[in-house]
Amino acid sequence: MAVLLWLLQVEAASLNMTNGEFVYICDEPLRNSRAYGDIQWQRPGEDAPNQLAAREAFRSLLVVQTYESTDFSLSNKSEELGRRFRVRSKELYNVTLTAADQGLPIILASYTNVFMFAQVLNETLATYGEARLRDGKWLSERFLNRAFISPGGLSDVYVNENGFRQAPQSIAHFEGENSTREV
């Protein structure tokens, strides 16, 4: 994906379509360099004029991405969790993963799903007793229209009144002398 995007931006530059009149939008559902490549204007091995064109052209690009907290202690916690998952996948399943191909946001999302379910069960048990735990319809309604704040704030989610889980998104753009990616 990153390669195609790069070629598109260079092509757009050659057609004089990166002069500020056009905006390009790219969806990056999660940062995973193995699956999508690295979205950036630098491409080692390309010749200098194309690199320069790409650097300018990337300023017309917006990237819609999963919101990742910039809070250091939170990102450290999620990296720590990711590291523990990698150790376990090696120990239990003999699967070797690197941080780059792990897909941490998906793992955090699954982690939060289990947490949400546990929270609803625990509340129900404490407030209404065991009989309610067998009432699936009633339980499913407990998920609607509420926010779940996960342990340590790792991956908070909101579930709307129709049961859709809403993940926060952010928009990144490339700015400054060196077109660096900023949220």
Ligand X SMILES: *[C@@H]1O[C@H](CO)[C@@H](O)[C@H](O)[C@H]1NC(C)=O
176 sits near ligand X (criterion: CB under 6 A): yes
Q: Considering only CA atoms, give the Rg of the chain.
A: 21
Interface stretch with ligand X, choices 5-13, 25-33, 37-45, 173-181 (CB under 6 A): 173-181
CB atoms within 10 A of CB 166: 10
Query: At 28, which amino acid appears?
Result: E
Q: Work out how close the CB of 180 gets to ligand X at its nearest, in angstroms, rounded to a whole number.
A: 7
Residue of the chain from 122, 145, 160, 169 that contacts ligand X (CB under 6 A):
122
Say how far apart CA 14 and CA 53 lie, in whole Å. 8
Question: Measured from the CB atom, is 70 or 94 closer to ligand X?
Answer: 94
Question: Measured from the CB atom, is 102 or 119 closer to ligand X?
Answer: 119
80 sits near ligand X (criterion: CB under 6 A): yes
Asked whether the beta carbons of 132 and 139 are under 8 A apart, the reply is yes
Q: What is the DSSP letter of 21?
A: S
Beta strand extents in 4-145 (DSSP E only): 24-28, 61-66
Q: What is the DSSP letter of 155?
A: S
178 sits near ligand X (criterion: CB under 6 A): yes
Number of residues that bind ligand X (CB under 6 A): 9
Question: Measured from the CB atom, is 71 or 135 closer to ligand X?
Answer: 71
Positions that interact with ligand X (CB under 6 A): 76, 80, 94, 119, 122, 126, 176-178
